[in-house]
Amino acid sequence: MSKTILIATDKPFAKEAVDLIKAVIDQNPGYELKLLEKYTEQSQLVEAAKEADAMIIRSDKATKEVINAGDRLKVIVRAGAGYDNIDLAAASAKGIVAMNTPGQNSNAVAELAIGMMIYMARGKFNGKSGSELKGKTIGIHAYGNVGKLVADIAKGFGMKIYAFDPFIKDEDIEKDGVKVVHSVEELYSKCQYVSLHIPANEKTKNSIHKGLLMSMPNNAVLVNTARKEVVCEEGLKIVLNERPDFKYLSDVAPDCAEELIGKYQERVYFTPKKMGAQTEEANINAGVAAVEQIIAYFEKGDKRFQVNK
Protein backbone atom coordinates (compact mmCIF):
# COMPACT_ATOMS: atom_id res chain seq x y z
CA MET A 1 0.00 0.00 0.00
CA SER A 2 1.36 3.39 -0.92
CA LYS A 3 2.04 6.03 1.68
CA THR A 4 -0.09 9.17 1.72
CA ILE A 5 1.67 12.50 2.11
CA LEU A 6 -0.87 15.12 3.15
CA ILE A 7 -0.20 18.79 2.46
CA ALA A 8 -2.45 20.59 4.94
CA THR A 9 -2.22 24.33 4.44
CA ASP A 10 -4.83 26.76 5.63
CA LYS A 11 -2.69 29.37 3.81
CA PRO A 12 -1.77 27.51 0.60
CA PHE A 13 1.64 27.31 -1.00
CA ALA A 14 2.03 28.93 -4.43
CA LYS A 15 0.75 26.59 -7.17
CA GLU A 16 4.31 26.24 -8.50
CA ALA A 17 5.43 24.84 -5.14
CA VAL A 18 2.59 22.30 -5.01
CA ASP A 19 3.43 21.22 -8.58
CA LEU A 20 7.08 20.69 -7.63
CA ILE A 21 6.16 18.75 -4.48
CA LYS A 22 3.92 16.59 -6.65
CA ALA A 23 6.78 16.06 -9.11
CA VAL A 24 9.01 14.79 -6.28
CA ILE A 25 6.27 12.40 -5.16
CA ASP A 26 5.72 11.19 -8.74
CA GLN A 27 9.45 10.38 -9.04
CA ASN A 28 9.27 8.20 -5.93
CA PRO A 29 7.09 5.12 -6.36
CA GLY A 30 5.02 4.16 -3.34
CA TYR A 31 3.87 7.65 -2.34
CA GLU A 32 0.77 9.63 -3.15
CA LEU A 33 -0.25 13.20 -2.49
CA LYS A 34 -3.36 14.44 -0.74
CA LEU A 35 -4.11 18.14 -0.61
CA LEU A 36 -6.13 20.00 2.01
CA GLU A 37 -5.96 23.73 1.31
CA LYS A 38 -7.83 26.75 2.69
CA TYR A 39 -9.73 24.64 5.19
CA THR A 40 -11.93 26.59 7.55
CA GLU A 41 -12.46 24.19 10.46
CA GLN A 42 -9.81 22.44 12.55
CA SER A 43 -12.01 19.33 12.34
CA GLN A 44 -11.14 19.10 8.62
CA LEU A 45 -7.47 18.80 9.57
CA VAL A 46 -8.30 16.15 12.18
CA GLU A 47 -10.29 14.22 9.56
CA ALA A 48 -7.53 14.47 6.92
CA ALA A 49 -4.88 13.32 9.43
CA LYS A 50 -6.68 9.97 9.71
CA GLU A 51 -5.62 9.04 6.18
CA ALA A 52 -2.06 10.39 6.31
CA ASP A 53 1.27 8.62 6.76
CA ALA A 54 3.08 11.96 6.63
CA MET A 55 1.97 15.56 6.89
CA ILE A 56 3.38 18.80 5.55
CA ILE A 57 2.05 21.85 7.36
CA ARG A 58 2.81 25.57 7.64
CA SER A 59 1.39 27.52 10.60
CA ASP A 60 -1.40 24.94 10.73
CA LYS A 61 -2.03 23.61 14.21
CA ALA A 62 -0.85 20.05 14.69
CA THR A 63 -2.64 19.69 18.02
CA LYS A 64 -2.86 16.59 20.19
CA GLU A 65 -6.25 15.88 18.59
CA VAL A 66 -4.80 16.01 15.09
CA ILE A 67 -1.83 13.87 16.10
CA ASN A 68 -3.92 11.30 17.92
CA ALA A 69 -6.29 11.04 14.96
CA GLY A 70 -3.41 10.00 12.70
CA ASP A 71 -3.35 6.25 13.27
CA ARG A 72 -0.85 5.78 10.41
CA LEU A 73 0.97 9.05 10.94
CA LYS A 74 4.75 8.69 11.26
CA VAL A 75 6.15 12.11 10.41
CA ILE A 76 5.03 15.76 10.46
CA VAL A 77 7.11 18.37 8.69
CA ARG A 78 6.58 22.03 9.39
CA ALA A 79 7.55 23.61 6.07
CA GLY A 80 9.23 26.57 7.73
CA ALA A 81 11.23 27.50 10.79
CA GLY A 82 8.99 27.89 13.86
CA TYR A 83 7.38 24.71 15.20
CA ASP A 84 5.45 26.23 18.08
CA ASN A 85 2.30 25.05 16.25
CA ILE A 86 3.12 21.36 16.76
CA ASP A 87 2.28 19.60 20.02
CA LEU A 88 5.71 18.01 20.29
CA ALA A 89 4.89 16.07 23.45
CA ALA A 90 1.87 14.48 21.76
CA ALA A 91 3.98 13.62 18.71
CA SER A 92 6.75 12.08 20.83
CA ALA A 93 4.23 10.10 22.85
CA LYS A 94 3.06 8.45 19.62
CA GLY A 95 6.59 7.97 18.25
CA ILE A 96 5.90 10.50 15.49
CA VAL A 97 8.90 12.42 14.19
CA ALA A 98 8.38 16.18 13.93
CA MET A 99 10.72 18.19 11.71
CA ASN A 100 11.11 21.71 10.38
CA THR A 101 12.91 22.98 7.28
CA PRO A 102 15.33 25.56 8.73
CA GLY A 103 16.57 28.31 6.45
CA GLN A 104 14.32 27.48 3.52
CA ASN A 105 12.02 30.47 3.81
CA SER A 106 14.39 32.84 5.62
CA ASN A 107 15.14 35.21 2.76
CA ALA A 108 11.44 35.94 2.23
CA VAL A 109 11.03 36.81 5.92
CA ALA A 110 14.15 38.98 5.96
CA GLU A 111 12.99 40.91 2.90
CA LEU A 112 9.62 41.53 4.52
CA ALA A 113 11.25 42.85 7.72
CA ILE A 114 13.27 45.37 5.73
CA GLY A 115 10.28 46.13 3.47
CA MET A 116 8.11 46.99 6.48
CA MET A 117 10.88 49.22 7.86
CA ILE A 118 11.01 51.21 4.62
CA TYR A 119 7.22 51.40 4.47
CA MET A 120 7.12 52.95 7.95
CA ALA A 121 10.20 55.17 7.46
CA ARG A 122 8.42 56.67 4.44
CA GLY A 123 5.19 57.33 6.34
CA LYS A 124 3.41 54.43 4.66
CA PHE A 125 4.03 56.16 1.32
CA ASN A 126 1.76 59.07 2.26
CA GLY A 127 3.59 61.63 0.12
CA LYS A 128 5.06 63.51 3.10
CA SER A 129 8.75 63.74 3.97
CA GLY A 130 9.97 60.58 5.71
CA SER A 131 13.37 59.24 6.74
CA GLU A 132 16.02 56.87 5.42
CA LEU A 133 17.50 53.68 6.83
CA LYS A 134 21.07 54.67 5.94
CA GLY A 135 23.18 55.47 8.98
CA LYS A 136 20.55 54.27 11.47
CA THR A 137 21.22 51.61 14.10
CA ILE A 138 19.52 48.23 13.88
CA GLY A 139 19.58 45.50 16.53
CA ILE A 140 19.11 41.92 15.40
CA HIS A 141 17.49 40.05 18.27
CA ALA A 142 18.61 36.45 17.58
CA TYR A 143 21.13 35.84 14.85
CA GLY A 144 19.72 32.71 13.21
CA ASN A 145 18.93 32.18 9.55
CA VAL A 146 16.56 35.14 9.27
CA GLY A 147 18.47 37.49 11.55
CA LYS A 148 21.67 36.94 9.60
CA LEU A 149 19.92 37.77 6.32
CA VAL A 150 18.31 40.90 7.79
CA ALA A 151 21.81 41.99 8.86
CA ASP A 152 23.13 41.30 5.39
CA ILE A 153 20.43 43.38 3.68
CA ALA A 154 20.72 46.14 6.31
CA LYS A 155 24.42 46.33 5.55
CA GLY A 156 23.57 47.07 1.93
CA PHE A 157 21.42 49.95 3.19
CA GLY A 158 24.34 51.37 5.15
CA MET A 159 22.82 50.71 8.58
CA LYS A 160 24.92 50.21 11.74
CA ILE A 161 24.23 46.66 12.84
CA TYR A 162 24.27 45.11 16.31
CA ALA A 163 23.18 41.61 17.32
CA PHE A 164 22.38 39.71 20.47
CA ASP A 165 22.36 35.91 20.42
CA PRO A 166 23.70 33.96 23.40
CA PHE A 167 23.68 30.73 21.35
CA ILE A 168 26.11 31.93 18.67
CA LYS A 169 29.82 32.57 19.14
CA ASP A 170 30.84 36.24 18.97
CA GLU A 171 33.33 35.58 16.18
CA ASP A 172 30.65 33.97 13.98
CA ILE A 173 28.63 37.18 14.19
CA GLU A 174 31.58 39.58 14.00
CA LYS A 175 32.88 38.04 10.78
CA ASP A 176 29.72 39.40 9.10
CA GLY A 177 30.66 42.94 10.10
CA VAL A 178 28.04 42.96 12.87
CA LYS A 179 28.79 44.25 16.39
CA VAL A 180 27.94 41.83 19.19
CA VAL A 181 26.21 42.96 22.37
CA HIS A 182 25.89 40.67 25.37
CA SER A 183 22.49 41.52 26.77
CA VAL A 184 19.04 42.33 25.45
CA GLU A 185 19.12 45.51 27.53
CA GLU A 186 22.18 46.71 25.66
CA LEU A 187 20.68 45.83 22.27
CA TYR A 188 17.45 47.73 22.87
CA SER A 189 19.07 50.76 24.47
CA LYS A 190 21.53 51.10 21.57
CA CYS A 191 19.33 50.54 18.54
CA GLN A 192 16.70 52.74 16.93
CA TYR A 193 15.41 49.74 14.98
CA VAL A 194 15.12 46.29 16.53
CA SER A 195 14.22 43.28 14.39
CA LEU A 196 12.89 40.28 16.30
CA HIS A 197 13.89 36.74 15.35
CA ILE A 198 13.41 34.76 18.55
CA PRO A 199 11.21 31.66 18.61
CA ALA A 200 8.01 31.56 20.68
CA ASN A 201 8.41 29.29 23.69
CA GLU A 202 7.73 29.38 27.40
CA LYS A 203 10.88 31.44 28.01
CA THR A 204 10.34 34.02 25.27
CA LYS A 205 6.58 34.63 25.40
CA ASN A 206 5.92 38.21 26.60
CA SER A 207 9.68 38.68 27.02
CA ILE A 208 9.76 41.89 24.96
CA HIS A 209 8.44 44.06 27.73
CA LYS A 210 7.78 47.70 28.43
CA GLY A 211 11.19 48.32 30.02
CA LEU A 212 13.09 47.21 26.93
CA LEU A 213 10.90 49.23 24.58
CA MET A 214 11.06 52.36 26.76
CA SER A 215 14.86 52.17 26.70
CA MET A 216 15.09 52.37 22.90
CA PRO A 217 16.53 55.58 21.39
CA ASN A 218 14.43 58.34 19.81
CA ASN A 219 12.17 57.36 16.91
CA ALA A 220 12.30 53.72 17.95
CA VAL A 221 10.87 51.07 15.63
CA LEU A 222 10.21 47.47 16.67
CA VAL A 223 9.86 45.07 13.74
CA ASN A 224 8.33 41.70 14.55
CA THR A 225 8.46 38.98 11.92
CA ALA A 226 8.85 36.33 14.64
CA ARG A 227 5.69 35.59 16.64
CA LYS A 228 3.15 37.99 18.11
CA GLU A 229 3.29 36.16 21.46
CA VAL A 230 6.86 37.23 22.21
CA VAL A 231 5.82 40.87 22.64
CA CYS A 232 4.02 41.76 25.87
CA GLU A 233 0.87 43.48 24.59
CA GLU A 234 0.10 45.32 27.83
CA GLY A 235 3.62 46.77 27.80
CA LEU A 236 3.34 47.63 24.12
CA LYS A 237 0.13 49.58 24.70
CA ILE A 238 1.78 51.63 27.47
CA VAL A 239 4.84 52.36 25.32
CA LEU A 240 2.77 53.47 22.33
CA ASN A 241 0.78 55.72 24.65
CA GLU A 242 3.77 57.22 26.47
CA ARG A 243 6.12 57.52 23.50
CA PRO A 244 4.70 59.41 20.50
CA ASP A 245 7.94 58.58 18.65
CA PHE A 246 7.55 54.77 19.00
CA LYS A 247 6.44 52.59 16.09
CA TYR A 248 5.50 48.91 15.90
CA LEU A 249 5.44 46.75 12.79
CA SER A 250 4.33 43.16 12.95
CA ASP A 251 3.77 40.29 10.56
CA VAL A 252 0.57 38.98 12.10
CA ALA A 253 -1.49 41.38 14.12
CA PRO A 254 -1.39 41.33 17.93
CA ASP A 255 -4.61 40.46 19.75
CA CYS A 256 -5.07 44.17 20.55
CA ALA A 257 -4.59 45.22 16.88
CA GLU A 258 -7.94 46.93 16.52
CA GLU A 259 -7.33 49.13 19.56
CA LEU A 260 -3.80 50.01 18.41
CA ILE A 261 -4.89 50.84 14.86
CA GLY A 262 -7.72 52.98 16.25
CA LYS A 263 -5.40 54.98 18.51
CA TYR A 264 -2.06 55.02 16.69
CA GLN A 265 -2.85 54.40 13.04
CA GLU A 266 0.19 56.30 11.78
CA ARG A 267 2.62 54.40 14.03
CA VAL A 268 1.58 50.78 13.68
CA TYR A 269 1.35 48.38 10.76
CA PHE A 270 0.18 44.78 10.76
CA THR A 271 0.03 42.45 7.78
CA PRO A 272 -3.50 41.16 7.17
CA LYS A 273 -2.33 37.54 7.11
CA LYS A 274 1.10 36.20 8.04
CA MET A 275 3.13 37.22 5.01
CA GLY A 276 6.78 36.62 5.91
CA ALA A 277 7.22 33.34 4.08
CA GLN A 278 4.57 34.04 1.47
CA THR A 279 6.69 34.09 -1.69
CA GLU A 280 6.79 31.58 -4.51
CA GLU A 281 10.51 31.02 -3.85
CA ALA A 282 10.07 30.37 -0.13
CA ASN A 283 7.10 28.08 -0.78
CA ILE A 284 9.12 26.07 -3.29
CA ASN A 285 12.21 25.87 -1.06
CA ALA A 286 10.34 24.89 2.10
CA GLY A 287 7.73 22.68 0.39
CA VAL A 288 10.23 20.67 -1.66
CA ALA A 289 12.60 20.34 1.32
CA ALA A 290 9.65 19.06 3.39
CA VAL A 291 8.67 16.34 0.93
CA GLU A 292 12.29 15.31 0.40
CA GLN A 293 12.79 15.06 4.17
CA ILE A 294 9.70 12.85 4.45
CA ILE A 295 10.90 10.50 1.74
CA ALA A 296 14.43 10.42 3.20
CA TYR A 297 12.92 9.52 6.56
CA PHE A 298 10.81 6.66 5.18
CA GLU A 299 13.51 5.34 2.84
CA LYS A 300 16.64 5.84 4.95
CA GLY A 301 15.48 6.66 8.46
CA ASP A 302 17.03 10.14 8.04
CA LYS A 303 15.96 12.26 11.03
CA ARG A 304 18.35 15.14 10.52
CA PHE A 305 15.79 17.88 11.01
CA GLN A 306 13.89 16.29 13.86
CA VAL A 307 12.82 18.81 16.51
CA ASN A 308 11.21 16.48 19.09
CA LYS A 309 14.26 14.50 20.10
In angstroms, the CA 144 to CA 266 distance is: 31
Rule CB under 6 A: say whether 276 interacts with ligand 3PG: yes
Q: Compute the least distance from the CB of residue 81 to ligand 3PG, in Å.
A: 4
Rule CB under 6 A: say whether 81 interacts with ligand 3PG: yes
Rule CB under 6 A: say whether 58 interacts with ligand 3PG: yes
Task: Determine which helix (DSSP H) or strand (DSSP E) holds 161, and give its type and residue range.
Answer: strand 160-164
- DSSP assignment of 24-66: HHHHSTTEEEEEEES---HHHHHHHHTT-SEEEESS--B-HHH
In angstroms, the CA 5 to CA 25 distance is: 9
**Interacting stretch for ligand 3PG, rule CB under 6 A, among 26-34, 159-167, 171-179, 270-278?**
270-278
Binding ligand 3PG (rule: CB under 6 A), the pick from 204, 274, 297, 305 is: 274
Q: Compute the least distance from the CB of residue 275 to ligand 3PG, in Å.
A: 7
Rule CB under 6 A: say whether 197 interacts with ligand 3PG: no
Strands 75-78 and 31-37: unpaired
**Interacting stretch for ligand 3PG, rule CB under 6 A, among 178-186, 204-212, 275-283, 290-298?**
275-283
Q: Compute the least distance from the CB of residue 251 to ligand 3PG, in Å.
A: 8
Rule CB under 6 A: say whether 287 interacts with ligand 3PG: no
Residues 98-127 that bind ligand 3PG (CB under 6 A): 105
Radius of gyration (Cα) for the chain, nearest Å? 20
Rule CB under 6 A: say whether 191 interacts with ligand 3PG: no
Q: Compute the least distance from the CB of residue 157 to ligand 3PG, in Å.
A: 23
For residues 277 and 289, which CB has a smaller minimum distance to ligand 3PG in the complex?
A: 277
In angstroms, the CA 122 to CA 83 distance is: 34
For residues 59 and 293, which CB has a smaller minimum distance to ligand 3PG in the complex?
A: 59
Provide the mask over 8-47, with x wherever binding to ligand 3PG is found by CB under 6 A and - wherever it is not.
---x------------------------------------
**Residues in binding contact with ligand 3PG, number by CB under 6 A:** 11
For residues 70 and 82, which CB has a smaller minimum distance to ligand 3PG in the complex?
A: 82
Dihedral sign for Cα 301, 304, 308, 309, please.
positive
In angstroms, the CA 242 to CA 133 distance is: 24
Q: Compute the least distance from the CB of residue 126 to ligand 3PG, in Å.
A: 28
Residues 200-229 that bind ligand 3PG (CB under 6 A): none
Residues 290-309 that bind ligand 3PG (CB under 6 A): none
Helices 15-27 and 280-300 cross at an angle (nearest 10°) of: 20
Q: Compute the least distance from the CB of residue 108 to ligand 3PG, in Å.
A: 8
37 pairs with which residues across the strands? Answer: 9
8 A C-beta contact, residue 57 and residue 79: yes
**Interacting stretch for ligand 3PG, rule CB under 6 A, among 62-70, 89-97, 180-188, 274-282?**
274-282
Helices (H), the chain: 15-27, 42-49, 64-69, 88-93, 106-121, 145-156, 170-174, 184-190, 210-214, 233-242, 257-264, 280-300
Residue 26: burial class (beta carbons within 10 Å; 0-12, 13-18, 19+): exposed
Interface residues with ligand 3PG (CB under 6 A) are 11, 58-59, 80-82, 105, 274, 276-278
